[in-house]
Chains A and B, each alone.
Chain A
Amino acid sequence: VMTQSPATLSLSPGERATLSCRASQTVSSNYLSWYQQKPGQAPRLLLYGTSNRATGIPARFSGSGSGTDFTLTISSLQPEDFAVYYCQHNYNFSWTFGQGTKVEIK
């Protein structure tokens, strides 16, 4: 089970966003990914292997963590970053998504 917190994060443009993803057991950082989803759109891969940005993802998105605790950080929120973010892990051919964190405009 992947548990994300907080459920909702209310911030202003330019602020720093810190999103948490906690696994119920130790997971490999190689298999931890983050996705962004905007209303009416399919999810988009942001980070893979905990900290590696997917093609075209801006440097303001970064990831860290190991073991059971992982973090997605957006250094300075841009208007297009307000969305829902999901972490995801694959363990032993079982794929799991967190329940999501909504980043909304304060």
Chain B
Amino acid sequence: QLQLQESGPGLVRPSETLSLTCTVSGGSITSDNYYWGWIRQPPGRGLEWIGNVHYSGATYHNPSLKSRVTMSVDTSKKQFSLKLSSVTAADTAVYYCANYCSGDSCSSPNAFGIWGQGTMVSVSS
């Protein structure tokens, strides 16, 4: 059973870079069907898709955040990561990593079927 766990600082200073890592266990990070996603949720608000990354290095970004987002996959560590630069208070949120499985061979195709528990990141001086 695939499991995901986010890790990273809970507090980031304004104008600095937010860095998070998601560790994958119970399955492969290199499946061609898997897209590894980042989704965030500001306090009291809805879900916002940040971006997805494939183990091949292909990345897909929310246009509203694209210029500030960097995503990558470390297959040796079974981890994928998110960097969000030039953060402001508006970036304060719970950040989730998730697995999106594409294609009919998936148990739940074309959906974010597995989520991490989420990690709260506050931007404050």
Binding site for B on A (CB under 8 A): 30-31, 33, 35, 37, 42-45, 48-49, 52, 54-55, 84, 86, 88, 90, 93-100
Contact = CB atoms under 8 A, between A and B. Distances in A.
Interface residues on B, range: 20 to 34
Contacts of A94: 60, 62-63
Nearest to A30: B110
B62 to A, nearest CB: 8
25 contacts: A33-B110, A33-B111, A35-B47, A43-B39, A44-B115, A45-B108, A45-B111, A45-B112, A48-B108, A49-B109, A49-B111, A52-B108, A54-B111, A55-B107, A55-B108, A86-B47, A88-B47, A93-B52, A94-B62, A94-B63, A95-B60, A96-B49, A99-B46, A100-B46, A100-B47
B117 interface: yes
Contacts of A33: 110-112
B8 interface: no
B111 A93 contact: no
Of all A-B residue pairs in the complex, the 3 with the closest CB atoms, nearest first, are A48-B111, A33-B111, A42-B115
Contact of B113 (A31, A45, A86): A45
Contact of A54 (B39, B60, B108, B118): B108
Contacts of B37: 95
Nearest to B96: A42
Interface string B61-75: 011000000000000
